[in-house]
Structure 1
Amino acid sequence: MFRKTLISLLFLIYAPFSYAADGVTGIETYQIDKDHTNIMWYISHMGFSRTIGNFKEFEGTVDLNHDDPDKSKIYITIDTASISSGVEDLDRQLRSELFFDVEEYPTAIFESTDITLIEENSADVKGNFTMLGKTKEITLNVRFNKRAMDPILNRMRTGYSIKSSMKRSQWGMDQMLAFVSDEINITIEAEALKIDQ
């Protein structure tokens, strides 16, 4: 199965603003480094505490357009069956028809549509997020951490920290709202490697 995970990579798109002064031009294609990326989600358990989990399988690519950053492109897919809370019974429930219905909808997909620079090293990245057969717009707040040559792989590496939130009911995931919060908070720590062309 082609595996992947939430949103996570959109962060790459704002990087051109940060290092345009370095003389980088044209389009660079990056691929998310799954070994150095963690996509975490947080939900409220009846207000008592936050339940924390992540997605373990995902893939994504980013085309960074340094000449015209607004035309950069990001495409990410998530294997919804890879959701993990660390609690086996809860994971089974999350994969069921009550929530992600992974047999019917095995992937979630993000495609970027717009970038707005907030500061030198941060931007809001808007995009279409498709889950459970429904597509809605979400916004990721992306902070660019670093761009440098990886001394071991001898490839350009970039790093990002991302935050976002969404209401699951907008995608039809409206079961058990009295017990599990509608709002889902997302934090992503991600790295991506340039694809040599």
Structure 2
Amino acid sequence: MRRIASLTTLFALAVVAVPVVVAQAPSAPGAPDKSRVTAGTYAADPAHTMVVWRVDHLGFSNYTGIFGDVTGTLVLDPANPAAAKVDVTIPVSKVTTASAGLTAHLLRAGKDGGKPDFFGPAPADARFVSTAVVLDDDGTEAKVTGNLTLNGVTRPVTLDVEFHGAGMGMTKKETVGFEAETTIKRSDFGVLYGIPFVSDEVKLDIHAAFEKQ
């Protein structure tokens, strides 16, 4: 009986303590609150902005890689969000995959001086420049159309963008964050190797943080 009473007491204390611990736990600086966004020019945070790409490999698995160290600018005005402008640069030469062999292949020169299978040893940076922004009714999602230049080819691309959060970042700068996704065809950009065994379609998931300047 004494053991049961002790366990009951511990349980009761835990029930009382949980709300206190939760109340004292620090909250994240960013929150999905549009009122936190202020007008101005923001710079991409290269340490926390990335483009995650995914292709189907032989119908067995989705293979994923990352372009990081993204730089660029975002111009925002909460009073006129449809006028937002984004211009970002993605260093293709810094592509990362889980396989050292595949990463090397992506950046390998063409055989006997021929065209590389993928990007080659000195690929130019990719760049996305927006041309139009169309918001949904509540202003938390938008379709952002722009021109994507990749592998020396420029094509129009539309991103499905969702507002993720805003607030004061760890660097004491106002920060805004977004998630975006789209699908492109690598053949449109002259990357033909392995099609159709490795899918022509490439799904892009973009995670972006911008700091106010």
Given the alignment of the two structures, is residue 176 of structure 1 paired with residue 194 of structure 2, yes or no? yes
Residues 80, 102 of structure 1: 8 Å contact kept = no
Given the alignment of the two structures, is residue 130 of structure 1 paired with residue 142 of structure 2, yes or no? no
Comparing both chains, which one has the higher relative contact order based on Cα–Cα distances under 8 Å and sequence gaps of 6 or more?
Answer: 1
Unaligned runs of 5+ in 2: 1-32, 109-115
Over the matched positions of the two proteins, sequence identity in percent amounts to: 31
**Structure-1-length-normalised TM-score:** 0.80
SS at match of 2:187: helix
Match of 1:146 among 159, 165, 174: 165
User: How far 1:22 moved relative to its partner?
Assistant: 6.8
Which residue does 1:74 correspond to in 2? 86
- Counterpart CA distance in 2 for 1:82 and 1:23 is 31
Richer in helix (by share): 2
Which residue does 2:96 correspond to in 1? 84
User: How far 1:23 moved relative to its partner?
Assistant: 9.2
**Structure-2-length-normalised TM-score:** 0.74
- Counterpart CA distance in 2 for 1:116 and 1:45 is 34
Given the alignment of the two structures, is residue 194 of structure 1 paired with residue 188 of structure 2, yes or no? no
Count of equivalent residues: 173
User: How far 1:54 moved relative to its partner?
Assistant: 0.2
Residues 101, 132 of structure 1: 8 Å contact kept = no
Q: CA RMSD in A?
A: 1.9
Q: Map Cα deviations across residues 30-82 of structure 1 (whole Å, 9 max, x no partner).
A: 11112222321110101100111101332111111344333322111111111
SS at match of 1:170: helix
Bigger CA radius of gyration: 2
Richer in strand (by share): 1
Pair 1:173–1:22, CA change in 2 (3 A): closer
Unaligned runs of 5+ in 1: 1-17
List 4+ stretches of structure 1 deviating above 4 A: 21-24
